[in-house]
Structure 1
Amino acid sequence: MGISMDRWVQRCSAVVFLVLAFTACSDATGRRALQGRRLANSTQKHLAVNLGGWLNIEGWIKPSLFDGIVDNDLLDGTRIQLKSVKLGTYVVAENGGGDVVAVNRTDPSAWETFRIWRVKAGTYQLRVNNKQFVGAANGGGGIVNAVAATPDAWETFEIIRNPANSSLVHIKVSNGMYMQALSKDQMTADFEGEPGWNDDNAATFDMSIVGRMQGEFQISNGYEPEKAAQVLSEHRSTYITEDDFVFLSNHSINTVRIPVGWWIASDPNPPAPFVGGSLEALDKAFTWALKHSIKVIVDLHAAPGSQNGDEHSGSRDGFIEWTDSKNIETSLSAIDFLAARYGAHDALLGIELLNEPRSPGIDLNNLTSYYSQGYNTVRKHSPTAYVIMCNRIGPADPKELFSMNNGLTNTVVDVHYYNLFDDTTFKNMTVEQNIDYIRNQRATTLQSLVTSNGPLILVGEWVAEWMVENGSKSDYQRFADAQLEVYGEASFGWAYWTLRNVNEHWSFEWMVNNQYIRL
């Protein structure tokens, strides 16, 4: 049957219209599907900020917290060296401990360094390299050694400072005598009377402070219980508030990582010197998070005995003693407490079993055993909460935790990336070299960690700070942009360290408000 040209044109136009309409509809559907996939992926990524220095104190984040402590330069873990002003040589625990204390070294190192245990202002105990304590035999009147495994009265001294020069000190023992250096071969505790401060006095020592710690143990023991409770209560109630959760929510942050210490499980009456109150604050954080559609990762940042020797691990003196079986059991008890309390809470995203265990110092077998037990502990209370396992810091295989994750569900490996702390790699890097390092080495490492059947990956700590001096605002912006781009590819997400800090570039709040970080 024939068809007129007009009808043919009309039919062709109709067909073209239908094809175009179908194509447009398909494109729109495709775009919506693609957008939907992107949205789905974006909701799986957790853009987080750490609430560091809040429920687990780190003095460098807010140094003013320590201002009211008497002799706040002699807190627990302060490392000192003592030089006899008469002999001109340094005090040393021979063999690092288990032997006499002599005064015969010209160059101080580990055996010549003593770690303070603070009893109260002015009264201290001194721990040596092999973990024994300096002691005056028979309470004084004879030799000084370093043989005691635990300190008692004979290992407790007054350090009396020269009012005109606080580095000059006398060390008074329990019987009222003073330590003195009459001979390089042996320190004795037999100076009677009141020593003077002249250079010929064998009881006068020049004290050098070569390391300090300002963590939760130091602030609690430094202020002592009543004052510590007052100072920390004020800090916890004002440092992080609900307004901060509003700020984070308004700036695309959907998760917070909250560092806590093991003593939170004993709140409101934790073991000395820690003071109660952190659990109440954490409860508030969960309430605020739920109200403002933010998820919470609770991070066991400080473990008993210290997993890395740093102040943020709750360490008293910098030694790593977490691997003691009692400390591991206490850590698991803390995880059990946290999982039982928050496992069914709608705001809980995950529980991190341990922050930054150090290599060397923490054996991988001990760590994976603990992580396995910690996973089972969390699963007793929640079938779905993410169980987060932090990689060891220091020399370690970035995939060393992968094999133990086989067969486990909802697990995450936490990696921490800083262009800091490693002088060999970062000290002399330029702006462009730092940015290239992020886009090349870090990106390659992250890609190697993201596997189809492995654990998810969280960049649990990073910061837009480096070892570059006098970087411009534009330099910092580009550095932050590079990290946001690369770490945004992590399969679980990232967490900036930290929300608020007196050091501006470490403060997410300051960096966002001043447009150094552009989300």
Structure 2
Amino acid sequence: MSICLNLRTLLLNFVITLTMLSLSHEARQNLDSPVRAVSLGGWLVTEGWIKPSLFDGIPNKDFLDGTGLQFKSVTTGKYLCAESGGGTILVANRTAASGWETFRLWRLNETTFRFRVFNKQFVGLDGINVVALTNISTDSLTFNIVKESNKSNRVRIKTTSGTYLQAKSEVMVSADISKVSGWRDDDPTVFQLTIGGRMQGEFQVTNGYGPLKAPQVMKDHWNSFIVENDLKMIASKGINALRIPVGWWIASDPTPPSPYVAGSLHALDNAFFWAQKYGLKIIIDLHAAPGSQNGYEHSSSRDTSQEWGKTDENIQQTVNVIEFLAARYAKSPSLYAVELINEPLSPGATLEALNKYYKAGYEAVRKHSKTAYVVLSNRLASSDPREFFPVATGLMKTVIDVHYYSLYESKFDNLTVQQNIDFIQTNRSSDLTFVTTSNGPLTFVGEWVSEWKVNGATKEDYQRFAKAQLDVYGRATFGWSYWTLKNVNNHWSLEWMINNGYIKL
């Protein structure tokens, strides 16, 4: 009898312990209901592919910051190259153009530029020889690109002191001639220009228009791209939350650093007012961190450089942005979550830097809000989707953000409609299950889209593909967010998908 009583007591204690753990976890997360959100991409952080017309009025718009230029000498028949990727001379002896043969623009005005090479040095002179030695932009040369005509790809590269670059030989590139004429095939100052990549982010649009035109252009965009009726519409269609990308410069509004312009903070204020009116939750998403966390245009990199997280000062600057946002909106009933950073790219954004930042960013939010969720984005190109579980575990109301696209990888290139659907139902379901644990952070499919690489897909095919994703991503414990609300590419626009019956929420 004594043994039985002891066993019953042990069993009761075990059940009570499990119940307490379960309740503790439930209380820690305290999720009302999973979010069914849409991202307001392309609004407060520019992405040119979402709204290309925003760039139409920029003078000399072919030459924006970050544009990759490749110059082929008409005399050597070979490309200019920063030897070793930078740190020494320029040569003109490469038969094909890749990273070392690509020069990234820094736009100073409509006609004047600096050139940055693969290893981040800037092009300058050592005597008459053209070199890429300095990492300090202001110590480098500035250039004009002189076109033969708008219909020709032939150009000359002129220094602002009046001399022209010339490929004297395959191993000697100099800037020691000031008088040129014609565009002959035997002229060493003539190059054939190829554009090897463009960027169309917030830096490019504001610096492209310049300080006189950019303020009005961006104000018009912010006031028209997302309006109150958009929120009214999506609230009526079953969406209960907004994921709103913002840039780090918003914390300096109304006097953000050049080339950014004032006004995005006022637009975000409007979004909070409208969201409260229509019962929508808001997830503030730091989409562009200072220095760029991934080198892409959507994080406002100037020239594909990824500088975020390399110093404690940079990390603290980012924490200050989060604290500014948390303090400003903590009392709003619409503030539901703060995403500390979007899509940091491995290995440049290191695990060490992100762990340090995520802890500090979490505390910055908690200074002002005990109820807002704190969202930690997984790294792009990382092999471990649970790598932030150690920092998230034990913190109140944390969420891991994963992004699932059936794009960007070669494995999707030749899949049929059914194979794409099967991938969602099998592989993505497994991926989501792996990051969903009973005692860890909540899971958020923070970006997905009903687009793929299938040619000739029917409306019914798209409906099936969307439904498969909604079914699987609906199991995410925090919820999901479609990318985006508005987009000139129809299937990326949730507004278009809803209005044309391609998706049923």
- Report whether the alignment pairs 1:111 with 2:100: yes
Which residue identity lines up with residue 378 of structure 2 in the other structure? Answer: N
How many Å separate the matches in 2 of 1:412 and 1:318?
Answer: 29
Q: How does 1:362-373 map to 2 (within 5 A)?
A: 362-373=349-360
% identical aligned pairs: 54
Give CA deviations for 1:201-226 in whole Å, capped at 9, x if unaligned: 11011110010000000000000012
Which residue identity lines up with residue 198 of structure 1 in the other structure? Answer: R
- Report whether the alignment pairs 1:481 with 2:467: yes
State the match for 1:330 in structure 2.
317
Q: How does 1:357-506 map to 2 (within 5 A)?
A: 357-423=344-410, 425-506=411-492
State the match for 2:68 in structure 1.
79
- Report whether the alignment pairs 1:238 with 2:227: no
State the match for 1:307 in structure 2.
293
State the match for 2:114 in structure 1.
125
Give CA deviations for 1:371-405 in whole Å, capped at 9, x if unaligned: 11100110011111100000001133011111111
Gaps of 5+ in 2: 1-29
For these two proteins, the number of residue pairs brought into alignment is 475
- Report whether the alignment pairs 1:342 with 2:322: no
Choose the corresponding residue for 2:206, options 220, 223, 228: 220
Instruction: Tell me the CA shift for residue 154 of structure 1.
Output: 4.5
Which residue identity lines up with residue 295 of structure 2 in the other structure? Answer: G
State the match for 2:14 in structure 1.
none
- Report whether the alignment pairs 1:60 with 2:49: yes
Helix, strand or coil for the counterpart of 1:155?
coil
How many Å separate the matches in 2 of 1:174 and 1:80?
Answer: 18
Which residue identity lines up with residue 483 of structure 2 in the other structure? Answer: W
- Report whether the alignment pairs 1:269 with 2:255: yes
How many Å separate the matches in 2 of 1:396 and 1:358?
Answer: 12
How many Å separate the matches in 2 of 1:155 and 1:493?
Answer: 51
Helix, strand or coil for the counterpart of 1:211?
coil
Instruction: Tell me the CA shift for residue 153 of structure 1.
Output: 6.5
Which residue identity lines up with residue 375 of structure 2 in the other structure? Answer: I
Choose the corresponding residue for 1:134, options 112, 118, 123: 123
Give CA deviations for 1:287-308 in whole Å, capped at 9, x if unaligned: 0000100000000000111101
Helix, strand or coil for the counterpart of 2:402?
strand
Give CA deviations for 1:184-204 in whole Å, capped at 9, x if unaligned: 111100122134211111101
Instruction: Tell me the CA shift for residue 96 of structure 1.
Output: 0.7
Instruction: Tell me the CA shift for residue 363 of structure 1.
Output: 1.0
Helix, strand or coil for the counterpart of 2:205?
helix
Contact in 2 for aligned 1:122/1:160 (Cα 8 Å): no
How many Å separate the matches in 2 of 1:514 and 1:119?
Answer: 44
Choose the corresponding residue for 1:98, options 87, 93, 103: 87
Instruction: Tell me the CA shift for residue 478 of structure 1.
Output: 0.2
How many Å separate the matches in 2 of 1:42 and 1:337?
Answer: 25
Instruction: Tell me the CA shift for residue 164 of structure 1.
Output: 4.9
Instruction: Tell me the CA shift for residue 167 of structure 1.
Output: 1.7
Give CA deviations for 1:86-145 in whole Å, capped at 9, x if unaligned: 11011011111110011111122211111111111121111001100011335xxx1100
Instruction: Tell me the CA shift for residue 334 of structure 1.
Output: 0.6
Instruction: Tell me the CA shift for residue 151 of structure 1.
Output: 2.1
Helix, strand or coil for the counterpart of 2:160?
coil
**Residues 505 and 164 (structure 1), Cα distance of their counterparts in 2 relative to 1, 3 Å cut:** closer
Which residue identity lines up with residue 456 of structure 2 in the other structure? Answer: N
**Residues 164 and 496 (structure 1), Cα distance of their counterparts in 2 relative to 1, 3 Å cut:** closer
How many Å separate the matches in 1 of 2:251 and 2:272?
Answer: 16
Give CA deviations for 1:60-97 in whole Å, capped at 9, x if unaligned: 00000000111212100111111001110110111111
- Report whether the alignment pairs 1:291 with 2:280: no
Helix, strand or coil for the counterpart of 1:388?
strand
Contact in 2 for aligned 1:136/1:173 (Cα 8 Å): no
Instruction: Tell me the CA shift for residue 148 of structure 1.
Output: 1.2
TM-score normalised by structure 2 residue count: 0.92
Helix, strand or coil for the counterpart of 2:153?
strand
Contact in 1 for aligned 2:134/2:140 (Cα 8 Å): no
How many Å separate the matches in 2 of 1:489 and 1:432?
Answer: 21
Instruction: Tell me the CA shift for residue 333 of structure 1.
Output: 1.0
How many Å separate the matches in 2 of 1:344 and 1:401?
Answer: 28
How many Å separate the matches in 2 of 1:196 and 1:125?
Answer: 25
Q: Which moved more, 1:129-138 or 1:250-259?
A: 129-138
Q: How does 1:181-196 map to 2 (within 5 A)?
A: 181-196=167-182
Work out which of the two has the higher radius of gyration on C-alpha atoms and give 1 or 2: 1
Which residue identity lines up with residue 136 of structure 2 in the other structure? Answer: T
How many Å separate the matches in 1 of 2:332 and 2:63?
Answer: 42
Choose the corresponding residue for 1:148, options 131, 134, 137: 134
Contact in 2 for aligned 1:195/1:203 (Cα 8 Å): no
Which residue identity lines up with residue 234 of structure 2 in the other structure? Answer: L
Contact in 1 for aligned 2:156/2:189 (Cα 8 Å): yes
State the match for 1:250 in structure 2.
236
Helix, strand or coil for the counterpart of 1:136?
strand
How many Å separate the matches in 1 of 2:419 and 2:348?
Answer: 31
State the match for 1:208 in structure 2.
194
How many Å separate the matches in 1 of 2:345 and 2:101?
Answer: 24
Contact in 2 for aligned 1:269/1:276 (Cα 8 Å): yes
Give CA deviations for 1:443-469 in whole Å, capped at 9, x if unaligned: 111112211110000100000000111
State the match for 1:162 in structure 2.
148
Contact in 2 for aligned 1:54/1:239 (Cα 8 Å): yes
How many Å separate the matches in 2 of 1:329 and 1:468?
Answer: 44
**Residues 285 and 136 (structure 1), Cα distance of their counterparts in 2 relative to 1, 3 Å cut:** same
Helix, strand or coil for the counterpart of 1:320?
coil
**Residues 301 and 42 (structure 1), Cα distance of their counterparts in 2 relative to 1, 3 Å cut:** closer
How many Å separate the matches in 1 of 2:352 and 2:151?
Answer: 50
Contact in 2 for aligned 1:301/1:312 (Cα 8 Å): yes
Helix, strand or coil for the counterpart of 2:232?
helix
